Amino acid sequence: MNNKALIWICISILMLGGCSIVGIDTSAPTAKEAELMFEQLLPAGTELLSTPEGTAVVQLVNVDDDNQLEAVALYRITGQDHIGFAVAEKKWTGWERIENRSLKDQNLNYGILANIIGDPRPEIILSTTEKSADLSQTQTVLVYALQSEEWKQVFHQDVNYFSTEDLDGDLKGDFVVIHQDDGESALASLYRE
């Protein structure tokens, strides 16, 4: 075998195994790996929260339609009425934080990732209770959507109940909020794309 062929074979082997040789982790993220990352990334005393359905504390979803899984976590800062959500993406250099949104004086009642706008990306939907100065509590639904590479609040409303089910069979989540005026009457609002 001539020297040029041997050199090309060696170069090919090095290129194929190059990522593992230099220690670059090209594997897809795992939920446990993302959970450990969030524990290091978020402030001390932060508790990661699972959804009421008991799903994992960290969800791996494609939030920006780039065919890569991002890690999404809901959290509470222990001892304070602060909640929030964080989104991070695993790059070849390590984890990169995309968003860390903290909400003060809020308690989390419910948090879910659901596609209610109709684009391929899920929205972050939070149901919170805010404590006011007169000790009354108001339930608020907040919806955050990724728009132009930034998480923006697209919905903020005080409600009694809400749902993100597909009501009409079009395979898109319909967003329904219910306002109860007194014990006997209620107003339902349906939001669609």
Residue 69 lies in a domain: yes
Q: Determine the pLDDT at residue 15.
A: 63
Instruction: For residue 24, name the pLDDT band (cuts at 50, 70, 90).
Output: very low
* 166 in a structural domain: yes
Q: Is residue 171 part of a domain?
A: yes
Q: Which of 12-26, 34-48, 174-188 is predicted least confidently?
A: 12-26
pLDDT of residue 23: 47
Among candidates 60, 56, 45, which has minimal Cα distance to 102?
45
Residue 170 structural domain = 25-191
pLDDT tens digits, one per residue of 54-112: 667 888 988 888 888 999 999 988 877 788 899 999 888 888 888 888 888 788 888 88
Dihedral (CA of 33, 86, 89, 122) sign:
positive
The number of distinct structural domains making up the chain is: 1
Among all chains, which residue has been given the structure tokens 């409303």? 157
| pLDDT averaged over every residue in the chain | 79
Q: Is residue 61 part of a domain?
A: yes
Report the C-alpha gap between 37 and 89 in whole angstroms. Answer: 11
